[in-house]
Amino acid sequence: MNPIPTRDAAARRRATMLRRIGAIAVAAAAVFGYQRIVNSAEPMRTVPAPTLDETPGASHDETAVFAGGCFWGVQGVFEHVKGVKQVTAGYAGGASETAHYALVGSGLTGHAESVRIVYDPTQVTYGRLLQVFFSVAHDPTELNRQGPDEGSQYRSAIFPTTAQQRTVATAYIAQLGGAHVFPAPVVTRVEAYKGFYPAEAYHQNYLELHPDAPYIAFNDLPKVAGLKQHFPALYRADPVLWREARL
């Protein structure tokens, strides 16, 4: 996920290459064991639920936008959360003109790789989504990076789409910091929502389409396993996959 020239074409070549060596990744996982896979990903922990959460209204369609490193894994996690209707990988924080993989990878656009989550607040609240985000989807103590990926485009950020979401997110970060849940300070930023721009189609459902890719196997599949382990009541085995027609 590090930026390189002609990134769209390079990403397609990379995907082809990853599929070819996918069998090697599976064999390696078998040799070194599940613990090796877990140790290569961001650390996971069950953090306390927010003491302040949204009050669901009559709507059954709310939108949350989170940034937590490479969007492949973050999308993959939330596609397995009950009450979530759709998760789209994309870009937030910058202008529409620069919302392209090749440009975002430069780290100069203001964008962060993000996910847009459409969810039913009567089934899963914004606060519960935040709890999953901070527990298993990423490491909120890493500044401008996640795992092997570096740059501001991989920052930890929340883009509230309503005033209530901003209040809940800000209070939750303060709650986690005051409780010293993590061994280092939480660096997650609550940023102004300027819009969300879906990523190119070949990035969507990447975890589900390429489970044997080494990057996915070592960095992202443990996050889904962590969701199942830490949030069994929220976990759904069959993911709700992105569909272009629903954008």
Residue 70 bears catalytic tag: yes
Nearest 10 degrees: Cα torsion 149, 110, 95, 119: 60
Burial class of residue 245 in the structure, from the number of CB atoms within 10 Å of its CB (0-12 exposed, 13-18 middle, 19+ buried) = exposed
Note the helical H segments in the chain.
7-20, 22-32, 34-40, 71-78, 101-104, 126-132, 163-179, 206-209, 214-215, 221-230
Indicate which residue of 25, 70, 92, 221 is catalytic. 70
Indicate the SS3 state at residue 158: strand
**Considering Cα of 217, then 223, then 227, then 230, what sign does the dihedral take?**
positive
Q: How far is CA 118 from CA 129, 209, 233, in A?
A: 11, 21, 19
By annotation, the residues acting in catalysis are: 70
